[in-house]
Chains A and B, each alone.
Chain A
Amino acid sequence: MATPDIIDTLAGIAPGSALDAIRARRLQARENAQKSYLSLFEPIDARNFSLAERAAVAAFVTGLHGESPVAAFYRDKLVANPDGARLLEAIDAEIARGRTSGPYGSYPAGPLSVENTAGLIYRVSAASKSALGIRLVAALEHAHLLVFRPRDAASDDMKALLDAGWSSTGIVTFSQLVAFLSFQVRVVSGLRTLAAANA
């Protein structure tokens, strides 16, 4: 195998273990979770969403979920980029400002309005804006919405990304990346919890 399976690595699943055997029963899912990771972080075409931007968004998104092997992995990935260490400093400051509990947000006006829950409407600090640049500022603000209050998303949020220089294709890949990480961080956490319950 070329690249070790990233979910197995992050969840600490050893070859030959009970969870390794269970994951092998969903081989297509295992292989394609891996291909999802590779096509997001080692894409054949990064013109619409650069590798450094991908790593920065990933470090932010996984960091918002709290300290974990997944968050540490994407921090390291960011630092491995030219300029990554400088970006990480701003990302760390923004993670600290953006951490909260979700999901929250509002429903379309109607019977579900009683379930509307207020919470942080995160905006990048003035201090971090120059280090991040206009595209990443818009990306972090939208990523925070996706992580914590996805039901608040509106067409104006697409406009904000387009206005910051994101192409439609870039927005699709960026949205996939944040959404994929929301999946990956949960699979890893769930498998780790299950492994610990068996230890």
Chain B
Amino acid sequence: MSATVNPPVAFTQDELGWVSWIDPLPEAGLTERHFNGLVDRARAKSEYFRLLVRDPEVLEARTKTDKDIFYNVADGLPRAERELAAAATSRYNGCIYCASVHARFASTYSKRRDDVQKLLDEGVKADLGERWNAIVKASVALAATPIAFGPDNVAELRRVGLDDAEIVDVINGASFFNWANRLMLSLGEPSK
């Protein structure tokens, strides 16, 4: 925890570390209840998850919600565009750490690294083409408080080819990052 922190000052697709501001649980003290909360045992190596596992039941439910929204690609919106919604939400809320992770995923799955970088560099108004613009705009409208998502967003998403199930994937993915961003931003900080 007291290791030297070197916070990034710009959005990036580079891999970042994350350092907690309050004490995570020590790895050696984790019980089965905690491992159930972590879902993946390997997450015991992560300071972030060892902090959240202080409430294992909430962490378990949060993790399983997250995984289904992003990884269940049997149908619905392509993974790349779910990651785009996550990255755009993170860019708008200002979560440099979350944006780095999900911008990388968006690049990997879309093969459009330059467009993803444009989102990070120019912000949520960047022109990424009609379809991505509509997804970014909908994500941003959902992230605003008060929530600004409205019928125009639905109409625009339909115009660029999304059906209702895909629109629900945008709603879920963008909404979930309003959860994730607030934890990452407030319990610790990223470090290069």
Interface residues of A (CB under 8 A from B): 18-19, 22-23, 25-29, 31-33, 35-36, 38-40, 43-44, 64-66, 101-103, 105, 107-112, 115, 142, 145-148, 150-151, 153, 155, 157-158, 162, 168-169, 171-173, 175-176, 178-180, 182-187, 189-191, 193-194, 196-198
Contacts and interface: CB of A to CB of B under 8 A. Distances in A.
Classify the interface of chain A: helix, strand, loop or mixed: helix
B95 A186 contact: no
A116 to B, nearest CB: 10
Contacts of B52: 172, 176
Interface in B63-91: 64-65, 67-69, 72, 74-76
A190 B170 CA distance: 9
Interface centre among A43, A64, A105, A158 (most CB of B within 10 A): A158
A175 B186 contact: yes
B30 interface: no
B62 A180 contact: yes
Contact of A32 (B61, B142, B145, B167): B61
Nearest to B23: A168
B164 interface: yes
A196 B153 CA distance: 12
Given A36-B58, A110-B10, A168-B22, A147 B145 contact: yes
24 contacts: A26-B69, A29-B65, A32-B65, A35-B57, A101-B146, A102-B144, A103-B145, A112-B10, A150-B93, A150-B186, A151-B95, A153-B185, A158-B22, A175-B183, A176-B183, A183-B178, A186-B178, A189-B142, A190-B174, A193-B151, A193-B153, A193-B154, A194-B164, A194-B168
Contact of B57 (A44, A148, A158, A178): A44
Interface centre among A28, A105, A150, A169 (most CB of B within 10 A): A150
Interface centre among B153, B172, B174 (most CB of A within 10 A): B172
A146 B186 contact: yes
A94 to B, nearest CB: 16
A182 B171 contact: no
Contacts of A145: 186
Given A112-B10, A153-B185, A172-B54, A19 B179 contact: no
Interface centre among B7, B52, B55, B153 (most CB of A within 10 A): B55
Contacts of B92: 103
A110 to B, nearest CB: 3
Given A31-B64, A155-B189, A193-B153, 10 more contacts: A25-B74, A33-B65, A36-B62, A39-B55, A108-B8, A151-B93, A172-B55, A172-B187, A176-B52, A176-B55
B9 A109 contact: yes
- Taking residues whose C-beta sits less than 8 angstroms from the other chain, chain B's interface range is 35 or more
A47 B161 CA distance: 49
Nearest to A18: B164
Contacts of A33: 61, 65
B64 A28 contact: yes
A184 B178 CA distance: 9
Given A148-B145, A150-B182, A182-B179, A36 B65 contact: yes
B9 A146 contact: no
Across the A-B interface, the 3 shortest Cβ-Cβ residue pairs: A110-B9, A151-B94, A190-B171
Nearest to A182: B178
Contacts of B23: 168
B68 A158 contact: no
Nearest to A188: B175
B160 interface: no
Contacts of B174: 186, 190
